[in-house]
Amino acid sequence: MKNIEDINRESAKRILAKKKIPEFSAGDTIKVGVRIVEGKRERIQYFEGVCIAKKNRNINSSFTVRKISFGEGVERTFALYSPIVGSIKVIRSGKVKRAKLYYLRDRKGKSARIVEKIKEKIGINISEQVNENQPPEQEKIKIIETEKKETKKVAELKKEESKKEVSKPKTKKEELKEKKK
């Protein structure tokens, strides 16, 4: 005989097979596409904000999103596997030390900001520039070398421009000072 927890796990797997739910946690800024039915018509309305809480409980999983709308804080809790939730998109990942960010309710302005989590340490997106013939390490070295060459060229151009500067026409005051000397 099946346990209720087993049934919940199986139904969660079935839902995951149909729709894509990205990995996100508290502190991430997410955009949730909510299905709204108005009479016979159905549309998707997006609710974008910071995820302040996430509860992982199989089919009963939920998450809370908070946003500031016209100066008022608005929170909305969504069931993760609900048919109302059309899509979830992670816009930016936040670097936080807590699982529940309820302290954001009391804050506003700059103190309510969350620092962004940097995923790549190098400022270049290496995955786009990888060549199939060469291993990724050699490609990274080539990219870094080309960046160094470009910075050297820019420095040389600036030096040349500073040398080429034309002398400015002297004002009457400067001419008088030179005559006195």
pLDDT digits (tens, 9 = 90+) for 145-159: 777 777 777 777 777
Residues 32 and 115 in one domain: yes
Which range is least confidently modeled, 2-6, 40-44, 49-53?
2-6
pLDDT for 41 beyond 90: yes
pLDDT for 91 beyond 70: yes
Rounded distance, CA 87 to CA 46, Å? 9
- Containing structural domain, residue 24: 4-119
Q: What is the pLDDT of residue 118?
A: 81
Residue 16: enclosing H or E segment and its boundaries? helix 4-18
User: 49: domain CATH number?
Assistant: 2.30.30.790
Are the beta carbons of 85 and 92 closer than 8 angstroms? no
Residues 82 and 139 in one domain: no
The number of C-alpha atoms within 13 Å of 83 and in the hemisphere containing its C-beta is 4
**What's the whole-model pTM score?**
0.62
Residue 26 included in any domain: yes
Q: Enumerate residues 6+ apart whose C-beta is below 8 A from 69.
A: none
Residue 174 included in any domain: no
Residue 156 included in any domain: yes
Phi, psi at residue 134, to the nearest 5°?
-110, 150
Predicted confidence band of residue 139 (pLDDT cuts 50, 70, 90): low
Calculate the average pLDDT of the chain.
Answer: 83
